[in-house]
Amino acid sequence: MKNPRQGGFKATYFIYPMVALDNVGFVANMASMVLYVLYVMHFDLSGSATTTTNYLGTTFLLTVVGGFISDTYMTRLNTSLLFGAIELLGYMLLIIQSHYHKLQPETCGKSSCIHGTKALLFYASIGLVGLGGGGIRGSVPALGADQFDYKNPEERKYIATFFNWFLLSITIGHSIGVPGESPLLRVLQVLVVTVKNWRIDVPNSDELYEPRDYESVSHGELIPHSNQFLDKAAVLPNGMEAGKWRVCRVTQVEEVKILTRMMPILLSTILMYTCLAQLQTLSVQQGTIMNTLIHGFKVPPASIPVIPLLFMSLLIPVYEFAFVPILRKITGHPNAITHLQRVGVGLVLSAISMGIAGIIEVKRKHELFHHNSRISLFWLSFHYAIFGIADMFTLVGLMEFFYKEAPTGMRSLSTSFTWLSLSFCYYLCSAFVELINLITSKLTKSKKGWLEGLDMNENHVELF
């Protein structure tokens, strides 16, 4: 008989739109935060970047608080409602300060111009948003999964289905959460008009459509023509009046070209964050069959992914106040190293973390098979810590790259690419696991894939 406390898919139908709407607000806030801190709160470039990343890091770290409270003191539903109210209060304070100029600091030409009650209101608002959002993300996934009976084999498989739809809800929220005039619509207009004009010859660059009296020029910038890629979108057919779906400005076409040139960087980081997906899944599974007692304390394996966040929290101030001044003197660069160099360092470190993860799995199996001993869960912290350092370099480098290289009108969309790579990495990770199992099941003597089955001791995670 079905447990009346478990609502099945009917109950989760309320969770999906809630998650999507929560992420609409979160991503809109996240994508605009660096611009808000820079132009409204009048921080400098590095201050606005570090404030934004500190806020995001804290938000994701606070998911542990939500999970802890929902598991220990309150039900998951009540936890979600409580933190939802906290998040809503934070958004209300943020809206009030962003609307009333008297609550905003004046430009002072320093690294930070915000003090007193204005600073208190600013940090309180983003703190409440971070706390509320983190609490929701820590409790809602488990709340949805609880709607299925894990002991029932028929319902157990639906849990994975729920998480797939849950991720889709997050992705939808991410997709439509970018604020302001939709950059995605401008990109779509360029592609549609290019296809419609595919038979039209491209004239000289000075004959392409770029009206100088365009009403939004004062709010943006005119981008000069570069090459002929997508130029047909800027050709106005003879006898037709200009319209959004008939012709695009040269600047609009150039915006799409710039975004296209960013794609290789985006694709490279997707592979890096695929390592993160492995740490969040396979390494946690490793932890369940390791010695979880550390100095008398039993550490839940699921808490291990907090290690990269802790390292980021500790190392970001050290990097900012200790390493940057030294590196700045050596390199002569105002930010010590360029944003792409930061991304490069992160990519190298992520590869190293995966190598160490493989070595630790070899050691775990050796101790188990030869000495019948389980190694400590603490061993997992090595590659987690290295990936935390990698993420510290890459995340800030990516945000800086996408912000600085993007045209003015697409900076919110561009900075959201940082999180788009995270979204793609989970899909890619799933594809990797299925592909590796498919190939290795045909090559191994046992006809069993490297990651197949329920016993990790019989699998080959170290080779993966």
The fold of the 256-464 domain, in CATH, is Growth Hormone; Chain: A; (1.20.1250)
The alpha-carbon radius of gyration of the chain (Å, integer) is: 25
Q: What pLDDT is attached to residue 101?
A: 87
In 10 A of CB 157, how many CB atoms?
10
Q: What pLDDT is attached to residue 128?
A: 92
User: Cα(64)–Cα(264) distance, rounded to whole angstroms?
Assistant: 33
Mean pLDDT of 400-413: 68
Mean pLDDT of 273-281: 71
The percent of residues above 90 in pLDDT, for the chain, comes to 4
Per-residue pLDDT band at 216 (split at 50, 70, 90):
very low
Length of the chain: 464
Find, among 181, 235, 245, the residue nearest to 210 by Cα.
235
Above 70 in pLDDT, residue 48?
no
Residue scoring higher pLDDT (42 or 56): 42
Q: Tell me the residue type at 336.
A: A
Q: What pLDDT is attached to residue 317?
A: 77
User: Cα(439)–Cα(204) distance, rounded to whole angstroms?
Assistant: 52
Find, among 269, 275, 245, 432, the residue nearest to 345 by Cα.
269
Find, among 176, 180, 188, the residue nearest to 244 by Cα.
188
Tokens linked to 118: 């204005």
In 10 A of CB 220, how many CB atoms?
14
Above 70 in pLDDT, residue 126?
yes
User: Cα(33)–Cα(40) distance, rounded to whole angstroms?
Assistant: 10
312 within 8 A of 57, measured Cβ to Cβ: yes
Residue scoring higher pLDDT (82 or 42): 82
The percent of residues above 70 in pLDDT, for the chain, comes to 70
Mean pLDDT of 130-146: 77
User: Cα(255)–Cα(396) distance, rounded to whole angstroms?
Assistant: 23
- For the domain covering 1-179, report its CATH number: 1.20.1250.20
Write out the DSSP string of 404-437. HHS-GGGHHHHHTHHHHHHHHHHHHHHHHHHHHH
Most confident of 6-10, 40-44, 93-97, 150-154: 93-97
Tokens linked to 451: 């990651």
Above 80 in pLDDT, residue 463?
no
Most confident of 35-44, 77-86, 250-259, 278-287: 77-86
Helix, strand counts (H, E) of the chain = 15, 2
Residue 120 CB-density burial (10 A; 0-12 exposed, 13-18 middle, 19+ buried): exposed
Most confident of 61-65, 246-250, 274-278: 246-250
Tell me the pLDDT tens digit for each residue of 313-370: 777 777 777 887 888 888 887 777 887 888 888 889 988 988 998 898 899 888 888 8
User: Cα(90)–Cα(38) distance, rounded to whole angstroms?
Assistant: 20
Which of the residue ranges 66-75, 103-112, 167-176 would you say has the lowest mean pLDDT?
167-176
Q: What pLDDT is attached to residue 218?
A: 42
Above 90 in pLDDT, residue 278?
no
452 within 8 A of 441, measured Cβ to Cβ: yes
52 within 8 A of 36, measured Cβ to Cβ: no
- Residues forming CATH 1.20.1250.20 domain(s) in the chain: 1-179, 256-464
Q: What pLDDT is attached to residue 93?
A: 93
Tell me the pLDDT tens digit for each residue of 234-275: 787 776 777 777 788 787 788 888 888 888 888 888 877 777
Three-state secondary structure call for residue 103? helix
